[in-house]
Structure 1
Amino acid sequence: MTRPLAMPGFLAPALLACGLAALAFGLAALNLTLPEPGQAGLPAEFLRIWQSEAQWPRFWMALIAGAALGLSGLMFQQVLRNPLAEPATLGVLSGAQLAIALCLLLAGSTPWLREAAGLGGGLAALAAAILLAGRGATGPRLLVSGLVVNLAIGALFVVLALQRQDYLRSVFIWASGNLAQDGHGDLAALGLRLAVLLPAAGLLTRAMTLFAVQDDSLRSLGARVTGLRLTVLLVATLLSVVVTARIGVIGFIGLAAPLLVSGLGIRSLGTRVIAAPLAGAVILLLADGVTQMLGRALTGELPVLLPTGVLTPILGGVLILALLWLNRIPEQPATQPAPSRIFPLGATILALLLLGAALVLSAFETLHLPGLSASELWTGRWPRIVTALSAGVMLALAGVVIQGVTGNPLASPESLGISSGAGLGIILALFAGGMATLFAGAGAGAGLAFGLVVLIGARNRFAPGALLLTGVAFGTFASALISLMIASGDPRAFFVLAWSMGPTYRAEPVGALAGAGGAVLALMVFPLFLRWLRLLPLGAEQARALGVRVGAARLVLMAYVALLTGLATLAVGPISFAGLIAPHLARASGAVRPGPQGLCATAWGGAILVLADLAGRLIWFPYEIPAGALAALLGAPFFLWLIGRNR
């Protein structure tokens, strides 16, 4: 009997890559074609100038900027050994964004000043992550330190934006990534810088190859691991920052380009160093081509003002979802948690005392409201206190579970895309039916996100990498739409921005009681998962040998995470910090085993959000700063102190 020929695993991704390249250059050719003067309603001389001074520089800018971002993402992922690593991971892009925003506020904007501010901010963020990680920092420690820096800087930027909404609208337009050119100046300046940085990155290929081996093995062979890692990260940071300073923040290319190369079956690092820039160039060129065609169709005008960076995450997300559907993501090697005390009683008691103090202060503080009785204060404040506490508990438990299942320190409840799905639903509800339909829209969006994660996860046997990448890909849609809304100047945009930072001032008694019930139920159910959480980190094969149905266990745990994240998001919005950092705080306190870690993390998560709610009321009185933004600002220093104490 003749067996049918099997399609090679790389054929479908290769066909997809060829199709993307053909479409990208086809759209570029259409955009570069000079229209008839009568069709455009513009003089022929203007059209010729527009083609030579705007369209051709834009075409080349897309190619070289995409190449730089694709290579930068590959370098980050290689030396940090994490498929979710990219320039934004260590706070590089957030640092550049905040520095340029401050530059616009204090000194105005010129190309050289903007570039200097962006370079200074990006390098300062990288330096902060390196210093906080400590001497001899490993990849995981750098990732965690960088992520804390990223969240803290992002919170500062959002607080600044909320206070100076009108003035900083131009920052959001820039931050959305605009490839529009008015000459060859920016193109020439970026080209000169990349002419130095791209060869430098190529010379580091051999050094990057070493990171296929674990750090301990490299040190035993005499390699200077820390110096090599920092050198590669410095070049990768410069690649991303020089692009960001010229065209703004173009997200997701650093993540999508290396994944496309991996989907093609390319394993040699030398080949990937060449292929990743090509993939990045194609993705950005395609995104810009679609942006121009869409902008022209919507406005009918030739100078298209729609930011390319808005569409790039959407196209990158679709590309990643397609690759996940076509290719199965392999299981990552199992990692064992570091030994610790069985039950870190002192750290847990400290967290509980902090939580108790936060509750008392939040309930009865009268600094700005003298003369009110305790009962009057309690009547007005208990809904938001209970809401913050419940959300902190649920997000902390969700963070413990998702980091335990995936073995990824960057994983957070938001990594499944549930919060982003809820945000997307809220955006659509604002335009479709107004405020009354917000909860329905949020619920529908969260359900859609989880359904997509389950659909693609089932095809990949619920491999942790596939689950995370699916959630991250879906999450790009909401962030892109929020950036577009803010750049458009729509007054509803800043409601979405404030909601995304986790406000508690809209808490009501019914919602607070519902959230408290959800948190109590989550705590009651959590012990049922302890056996799975102890065995799944051993690896799929060992867990199966011990009687665990790995696929079913992962699905149930992800459903638990999705439910808790959805409830917390409906209550206070998508708070990134609590679910990500509470498990790290618990581990830094000595709690590594799932049971003690869950208890300790819930205390930390609740304390952080209740204190953030209290501080948000006091710092800017009579205005409020969203609790989610302050959670990052308050929790980051304490977490970094714990890292230093346990170094």
Structure 2
Amino acid sequence: MTRWLILAAIAALSLWALAAFAALPLAQWPALPWHPEALTVPQILLTHGLMPRGVVALLAGACLGLAGALMQAVLRNPLADPTTLGTSSGAQLALVAATIFAPGLLAEGALPVALAGAAAVTLPVLALGARRGFAPVTVTLAGMLAGMLTAAIATTLTLSQGHYLLSLVIWNGGALTQQDWGGVHRLALALVPALALAALLARPLMVLSLGSEGAQGLGLRLAPLRLGTILLAVWLSALVSAELGMVGFVGLAAPAMARALGARTIRTRLLISALTGALVLSLADGTLLALAAAGGPVLPTGALTGLIGGPLLLWLLPRMAAQVPQATESGAREVHRSAGPGRVLVCLALLLMTCSVLTLFGGRGPEGWGFIAPALQAEFLPLRATAIVAALSAGALLAGSGALLQRLTANPMAAPEVLGVTGGAALGYAVAVFTLPQPTALALALGTAAGGALALAALSRHALRADLAPARLLLAGLAIGALATAVLGAIMASDDRRAWQILGWLAGSAAQVTPEGAAALAALALALLATLVAASRWLEILPLGPAVGRALGLPMTSLRLGLILTAGLATGAATLLVGPVSFVGLMAPHLARALGLARAVPFVAGSWLIGALLMVLAAFGARTASFPYDLPLGLVATLIGAPWLFLTLMRKSPA
């Protein structure tokens, strides 16, 4: 273990030295003491920029590694860290909200605001997780969904104040750039007492590792221990967020590496996690510094550390000890069957038409709420009609894909947004932008669709073979989505002009769709509905399992491949409009099932109509919530879907 730590330290020091020597030859380094008025500009950049940056990387990495180890020890959850529990996203939301609405709160420093936001998200996640016995997968799911929701709210707030857009993009990257040694002092003053407190907590955490009942039998008070440990971890992660911004998944990687290096006791694991966290962040920062010194792009360090999260989650998930039986995470429950599914479908269709017409004529303008004046209808109605058709078509495509995936996998939690399909579609879009000289709309659509299909195929290969319960399959999909988000974040943090095209797509809205594009989306949505109705016999049989399907003569391999490709193409087309996250594909099938639409044809048709309805409502909210700014459709749909999914997953009964 010591040998590996020494080798990593040498590598980190070598990378930093390479960047330092490239910035200023050793012969020109100033001697102590460093007085800025006596230094040249390159010397100031070295002594007050690069040097404190190297120390900050070590201290911040140690804080995050220790925070992750504390969370994993107290929750007995190898997937817990400040990113997966929503702690960092909570701090992000609080800082963004304070910057926009109450900048005076930041006058005394960003730490109190970041700490309040981090605690406001983490503590409710754990409170809800306690209702399920702190089941590792369930708590992690709740934390990741809470993090996605708070990140969506933060982005929505920023886009509603368009002049803050660039600052948010830069802050989200997690840049370690320093202007003086103040950050070093603050992080060091926090890390030293945190290590002392962690040493005091090691013994009771070791007792807790025996299990809740065993620990209580030995006289351990669980509630104060859990609360105190979590607050210490939240404080450390909030401090890093306040100083550097979003630096993700170091707290997940460091304890995993500590266990792999042979750390067995809690005390040793806490110490080694802090060391490995420091080395991980230092190596990441040194790599980017060396890359920039060699003429490569200048990227924030958080953009690189975010890339480790998705693969690490996928690697840890099958190896995680089954502390909770998978049956408790199955998500299956009885639903009633409607006596008249046809009437339900007619009512849904009428409701969709009514909402579409009201959205077409009504809304919010410079003079407040009301309907479009007759004199302006000829000019505005075609634009609104195009946007409404595009939005409802995208919602129908996502909902139809979700219904298809749920029937295909017999998993009520399957959906393109949470199985990583939309994340893969986003990567496909980015690849098309960066690899094609002048990508056409068709090329972008094909790249997006191919990315979604490949992500779904990868998830199927990884998770379905392991016979994972629905909740664990959902977490695997979120891991793929986290990887896609990290890649997009790294792209957005670069100085490449093509990144702004991707930002424009991520922040796009139905108002940007052309009539031809809306017509194409509508044709695809109708084609998907026709395909699903035509495949109704297959969709009735597939939930019964592959053995039944083969016994009835279904070509299971080719059938699954064709359905996966269909879902990927439909999701890719919708993702071009709504962006990588919306949860419509998960919500709509659940609502259809709750209405009693259980058979294949009513189920897929009802999901299709509900998805279209939800996206029409999201389009209305995107257009009116922050007038005159037009918010992204996907963000508004996420604000609707994430809380619903969060509460559904945390019900006492299986859901």
Q: Give the TM-score of the pair, scaled to structure 2.
A: 0.74
Name 1:114's counterpart in structure 2: 110
Deviations 1:364-402 (A, max 9, x none): 441242435999799646622441331341353367479
Q: Does 1:424 align with 2:416?
A: no
Change (3 A) 1:47 1:571: closer
**CA–CA distance in 1 between the matches of 2:569 and 2:206?**
41
Q: Does 1:478 align with 2:478?
A: no
Change (3 A) 1:377 1:128: same
Deviations 1:475-523 (A, max 9, x none): 24533234315xx495x65653353367333251122211332255346
Aligned equivalent of 1:334, options 314, 326, 341: 326
Deviation, structure 1 residue 51:
3.8
- Kept in 2, the 8 Å contact 1:101–1:168? The answer is no
Name 1:91's counterpart in structure 2: 86
Q: Does 1:29 align with 2:24?
A: no
- Paired amino acid for 1:119: L
Deviation, structure 1 residue 103:
2.8
**CA–CA distance in 2 between the matches of 1:469 and 1:311?**
18
- Aligned residue pairs, count: 618
Q: Does 1:284 align with 2:285?
A: no
Name 2:122's counterpart in structure 1: 126
- Paired amino acid for 2:122: L
User: Aligned ranges for residues 240-259 of structure 1 at < 5 Å?
Assistant: 240-259=237-256
**CA–CA distance in 1 between the matches of 2:15 and 2:94?**
35
User: Aligned ranges for residues 126-145 of structure 1 at < 5 Å?
Assistant: 126-129=122-125, 138-139=134-135, 142-143=139-140, 145=142
User: Aligned ranges for residues 582-601 of structure 1 at < 5 Å?
Assistant: none
**CA–CA distance in 2 between the matches of 1:48 and 1:616?**
49
- Kept in 1, the 8 Å contact 2:160–2:626? The answer is no
**CA–CA distance in 2 between the matches of 1:265 and 1:521?**
54
**CA–CA distance in 1 between the matches of 2:576 and 2:307?**
24
**CA–CA distance in 1 between the matches of 2:222 and 2:591?**
27
Query: Aligned with 2:440: secondary structure?
Result: helix
**CA–CA distance in 2 between the matches of 1:70 and 1:636?**
28
Query: Aligned with 1:518: secondary structure?
Result: helix
Aligned equivalent of 2:357, options 356, 363, 375: 363
- Kept in 1, the 8 Å contact 2:459–2:477? The answer is no
Q: Does 1:390 align with 2:396?
A: yes
Name 1:3's counterpart in structure 2: none
Change (3 A) 1:328 1:125: closer
Name 1:195's counterpart in structure 2: 192
Deviation, structure 1 residue 97:
1.5
- Kept in 2, the 8 Å contact 1:80–1:143? The answer is no
Name 2:150's counterpart in structure 1: 153
Name 1:444's counterpart in structure 2: 447
Aligned equivalent of 1:513, options 509, 512, 523: 523
Deviation, structure 1 residue 289:
0.5
- Paired amino acid for 1:360: T
**CA–CA distance in 2 between the matches of 1:428 and 1:232?**
42
Change (3 A) 1:351 1:159: farther
**CA–CA distance in 1 between the matches of 2:243 and 2:166?**
18
Deviation, structure 1 residue 162:
2.1
Deviation, structure 1 residue 444:
3.4
User: Aligned ranges for residues 145-224 of structure 1 at < 5 Å?
Assistant: 145-205=142-202
Q: Give the TM-score of the pair, scaled to structure 1.
A: 0.75
- Paired amino acid for 1:150: G
- Kept in 2, the 8 Å contact 1:413–1:580? The answer is yes
- Paired amino acid for 2:487: A
- Paired amino acid for 2:240: V
Identify the range of structure 1 (289-298 vs 593-602) with the bigger mean alpha-carbon deviation. Answer: 593-602
- Kept in 2, the 8 Å contact 1:462–1:555? The answer is no
Aligned equivalent of 1:55, options 39, 50, 57: 50
Change (3 A) 1:223 1:479: farther
Deviation, structure 1 residue 168:
4.1
- Kept in 2, the 8 Å contact 1:420–1:478? The answer is no
**CA–CA distance in 1 between the matches of 2:634 and 2:273?**
35
**CA–CA distance in 2 between the matches of 1:509 and 1:455?**
31
Deviation, structure 1 residue 186:
1.3
Deviations 1:442-497 (A, max 9, x none): 53366367657857975898435796487256424533234315xx495x656533
- Kept in 1, the 8 Å contact 2:427–2:451? The answer is no
- Kept in 1, the 8 Å contact 2:67–2:251? The answer is yes
- Paired amino acid for 1:363: V
Query: Aligned with 2:293: secondary structure?
Result: helix
Deviation, structure 1 residue 249:
0.7
- Identical positions, percent: 30
Deviation, structure 1 residue 226:
6.1
**CA–CA distance in 2 between the matches of 1:574 and 1:268?**
41
Change (3 A) 1:594 1:254: farther
- Kept in 2, the 8 Å contact 1:387–1:571? The answer is no
- Kept in 1, the 8 Å contact 2:149–2:643? The answer is no
- Kept in 1, the 8 Å contact 2:73–2:266? The answer is no
Gaps of 5+ in 2: 30-35, 363-370
**CA–CA distance in 2 between the matches of 1:522 and 1:213?**
51
Query: Aligned with 2:326: secondary structure?
Result: coil
- Paired amino acid for 1:309: G
Gaps of 5+ in 1: 1-10
- Kept in 2, the 8 Å contact 1:133–1:142? The answer is yes
Radius of gyration: which is bigger? 2
**CA–CA distance in 1 between the matches of 2:145 and 2:224?**
22
CA RMSD, Structure 1 to Structure 2 (Å): 5.4
**CA–CA distance in 2 between the matches of 1:315 and 1:341?**
38
Deviation, structure 1 residue 243:
0.8
- Kept in 1, the 8 Å contact 2:582–2:634? The answer is yes
Q: Does 1:309 align with 2:302?
A: yes
Deviation, structure 1 residue 284:
0.9
Deviation, structure 1 residue 636:
4.9
Change (3 A) 1:259 1:412: farther
Change (3 A) 1:177 1:641: closer
Deviation, structure 1 residue 244:
0.7
Identify the range of structure 1 (193-202 vs 102-111) with the bigger mean alpha-carbon deviation. Answer: 102-111
- Kept in 2, the 8 Å contact 1:310–1:484? The answer is yes
Change (3 A) 1:61 1:557: farther
Change (3 A) 1:641 1:438: same
Name 2:97's counterpart in structure 1: 102
- Paired amino acid for 1:447: A
**CA–CA distance in 2 between the matches of 1:20 and 1:529?**
52
- Kept in 2, the 8 Å contact 1:402–1:413? The answer is no
- Paired amino acid for 2:397: A
Deviations 1:560-610 (A, max 9, x none): 764554343245331243345557768999999999998886666444323
